[in-house]
Structure 1
């Protein structure tokens, strides 16, 4: 399993390149995904960074968790799988 990191509390102006530059100090990066709002195209303030090895991921957590980037204090930890939410249906009452 690839070591994927959650990077939170990002400034909305933080780019993929900003994160690549920062996290490359800890090792080889496989991918960087800044999560954006589909309607506005603006960053949601978090990203996922996939490192080459577990050791590099742990090093990145030690180096960057609590570090300031673009005036924001980063939160860096191992990404957790997304929890499945039960689907709800918005039913409109019958008007008959």
Structure 2
């Protein structure tokens, strides 16, 4: 089964063909892509390579993680599916009156208001 690999810390000029050539030395590559900015078309400095199987993918990760490519040490690891990357959904703390911690929400007497500040005005 094919395995997707994340490749980070790329210089802006690296192309999908460059990634393909680099990773083919370590096994069969089924796909290589450099992620670009939607508005500018410029590389975002990372990409993905899909290797033919798990063993070849692991061989490439072991060989290329930390490897210097065009003056930069690459970050190479197994790509994680989007839904596992975090960043949403879980319980949140803070906000008005929530959270604990002494930052003082409404009615807590914690000094979070505007009046009576001894800091002076800053413009």
How would you bin the TM-score normalised by the shorter chain?
0.7 to 0.9
User: How does 1:14-53 map onto structure 2 within 5 Å?
Assistant: 14-53=14-53
Structure 1 counterpart of 2:80:
80
Structure 2 CA distance, aligned partners of 1:86 and 1:80? Answer: 16
TM-score, length-normalised on structure 2? 0.66
CA deviations on 1:37-82 (whole Å, 9 max, x unpaired) are: 0100000000000000000000000110000111111000000011
TM-score, normalization by structure 1: 0.84
Question: Which of the pair has the greater relative contact order for Cα pairs under 8 Å at 6+ separation?
Answer: 1
Q: Could you tell me which residue of structure 1 aligns to residue 64 of structure 2?
A: 64
Distance 2:12 2:73 in 1: 13
Give 4+ residue runs of structure 1 displaced > 6 Å after superposition: none
RMSD: 1.5
Aligned-pair CA distance for 1:33: 1.3
Larger radius of gyration: 2
Which structure: greater strand fraction?
1
- Tell me if structure 1 keeps the 8 A contact 2:51–2:57: yes
